[in-house]
């Protein structure tokens, strides 16, 4: 780990929850992967495995009243922001007990009570929505912030420039978090993206940071500074977090892709930089957690995930009445 925890006076009370949340995101998604390949899940799932340090490092600073928007790869943000694994997994299973009662599915998990305005199936769409949530803060004069998670692929949509411009002009409490996971779907980012993404934001003269997205403390540090600045009226910030998508664009891809779009050696190399393994090593090295404590944490998380998966699988099917009931306000009895 390049970042020293002492940079932000980290204590065990700050550090252990970071590992705990990363483990929770990872184990939930590993279970979703297994359930998908067992043919149990409807639709497709886009997994966040390998990128956990980004969502967790940012969301550690957020309160329920702060809002986030997310992407088609949104399970990690949902959990990191405090969403319920049970309610999310049931949603992905298409069950009545899902957080959106099965109306949204994997790409649209939302929990407004936790400030999760929603994952979004349209690349970059959450950016402008976050801009509006941040604008609303300027009217209630609170110290809330709004965070947009988006990928390197979204950086190639015009919405990013529109939103950077408005957020900067209006000095909005908005944090842009670009997760550069090195792939736009199946295209290596270098083949579809010119220059460095963070330089696009630098043109707006706002605070920008380029961080190792597999180093949760690096993300945590940059996000902490950006969020604190926004809370104090200092306007928007941009963080580009360099990470790696260990799984495919979506779990189903092997069934339709004719050939591999990346070398397995590359994937293995990045497995060696797994953000969770790196952080565990760091915590042990600093004497913050010992092996026994890590194992206990793993067991606790495994129990939560098993419970959530069983809850999802055992849930009632979605309610057919909802199909016609929820489009407009007055339709809801």
Partner 1 sequence: MAELTYRDAVVRGIAQEMARDPDVVFLGEDVAKAGGVFKATVGLLEQFGPLRVRDTPISEQAILGAAMGAAMTGLKPIAEIMFSDFFAVCFDYIANEIPKGRYMSNGQTKCPLVVRTGNGGGARFGAQHSQSVENWCMMIPGLKVVAPSTPRDVIGLLAASVRDPDPVIFLEHKSLYAVKGEVPDGEILDTLGTASIVRPGKDATILALALMVPRAFAAAEKLKSEFGIDCEVIDVRSLVPLDTQAILNSVARTHRLFTVEENPRLCGWGAEIVSIVADEAFYELDGPPVRITTPHIPLPAADILEDLALPSVDRIVDRVRRSMEN
Residues that bind partner 1 (CB under 8 A): 67, 69, 100-101, 103-105, 108, 110-113, 117-118, 120-122, 125, 127-140, 146, 158-159, 162-163, 165-166, 169-170, 322, 326-330, 332
Helices (H), the chain: 12-37, 52-59, 75-80, 85-92, 125-140, 158-169, 189-192, 197-202, 216-231, 264-271, 275-285, 291-314, 322-325
**Structural contact between residues 87 and 98, judged by C-beta atoms closer than 8 angstroms:** yes
User: Which CB sits closer to partner 1, 150 or 244?
Assistant: 150
CB of 10 to partner 1, least distance (A): 31
CB of 192 to partner 1, least distance (A): 20
Grouping H, G, I as helix, E, B as strand and the rest as coil, residue 191 is helix
d(CA 261, CA 185): 10
Helices (H), 151-240: 158-169, 189-192, 197-202, 216-231
CB within 8 Å of 223: residues ≥ 6 apart: 57, 58, 60, 61, 175, 177, 239
**Structural contact between residues 167 and 236, judged by C-beta atoms closer than 8 angstroms:** yes
User: Which CB sits closer to partner 1, 175 or 304?
Assistant: 175
CB of 109 to partner 1, least distance (A): 9
Copy the structure tokens of residue 295. Answer: 């194992």
User: Which CB sits closer to partner 1, 68 or 219?
Assistant: 68
CB of 112 to partner 1, least distance (A): 4
User: Which CB sits closer to partner 1, 297 or 322?
Assistant: 322
CB of 144 to partner 1, least distance (A): 9
Of 151, 174, 173, the C-alpha closest to 241 is 151
CB of 27 to partner 1, least distance (A): 26
d(CA 82, CA 91): 16
User: Which CB sits closer to partner 1, 22 or 146?
Assistant: 146
- Any idea how long the chain is? 333
User: Which CB sits closer to partner 1, 136 or 267?
Assistant: 136
CB of 74 to partner 1, least distance (A): 12
Dmax of the chain from CA atoms?
A: 58
User: Which CB sits closer to partner 1, 58 or 99?
Assistant: 99
Query: The dihedral of CA 178, 179, 181, 185: what is its sign?
Result: negative
Grouping H, G, I as helix, E, B as strand and the rest as coil, residue 147 is strand
User: Which CB sits closer to partner 1, 118 or 315?
Assistant: 118
User: Which CB sits closer to partner 1, 201 or 222?
Assistant: 201
Residue with tokens 């939103």: 163
CB of 238 to partner 1, least distance (A): 16
The DSSP symbol for 210 reads E
Residue with tokens 């799984």: 247
Burial of 90 (0-12, 13-18, 19+ CB in 10 A): buried
CB of 124 to partner 1, least distance (A): 9
Of 116, 21, 106, 110, the C-alpha closest to 312 is 106
């Amino acid at each position: 780990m390049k970042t020293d925890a002492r940079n932000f006076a980290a204590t065990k009370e700050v550090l252990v929850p970071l590992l705990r949340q990363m483990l929770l995101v990872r184990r939930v998604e590993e279970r979703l992967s297994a359930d998908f390949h067992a043919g149990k899940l409807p639709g497709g799932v886009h997994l966040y495995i390998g990128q956990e340090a980004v969502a967790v490092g940012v969301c550690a600073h957020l309160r329920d009243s702060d809002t986030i928007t997310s992407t088609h790869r949104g399970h990690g943000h949902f959990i990191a922001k405090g969403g319920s694994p049970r309610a999310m997994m049931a949603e992905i299973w298409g069950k009545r007990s899902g957080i959106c009662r099965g109306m949204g599915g994997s790409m649209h998990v939302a929990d407004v009570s936790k400030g999760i305005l929603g994952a979004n199936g349209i690349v970059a769409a959450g950016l402008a929505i976050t801009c509006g949530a941040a604008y609303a803060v300027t009217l209630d004069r609170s110290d809330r912030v709004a965070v947009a998670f988006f990928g390197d692929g979204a950086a190639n949509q015009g919405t990013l420039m529109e939103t950077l411009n408005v957020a900067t002009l209006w000095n909005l409490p908005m944090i842009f978090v670009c997760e550069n996971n090195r792939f736009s779907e199946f295209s290596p980012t270098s083949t579809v993206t010119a220059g460095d993404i963070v330089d696009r934001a630098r043109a707006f003269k706002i605070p920008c940071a380029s961080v190792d997205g597999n180093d949760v403390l690096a993300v945590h540090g940059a996000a902490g500074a950006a969020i604190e600045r926004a809370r104090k009226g200092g306007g928007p910030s941009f963080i580009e977090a360099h990470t790696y998508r260990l799984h495919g664009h979506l779990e189903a891809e092997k069934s339709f892709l004719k050939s591999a779009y990346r070398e397995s050696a590359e994937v293995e190399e990045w497995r060696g930089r797994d953000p969770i393994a790196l952080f565990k090593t760091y915590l042990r090295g600093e004497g913050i957690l010992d092996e026994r404590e890590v194992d206990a944490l793993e067991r606790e998380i495994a129990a939560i995930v098993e419970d959530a998966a069983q809850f999802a699988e055992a849930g009632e099917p979605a309610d057919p009445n909802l199909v016609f009931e929820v489009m407009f306000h007055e339709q809801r009895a």
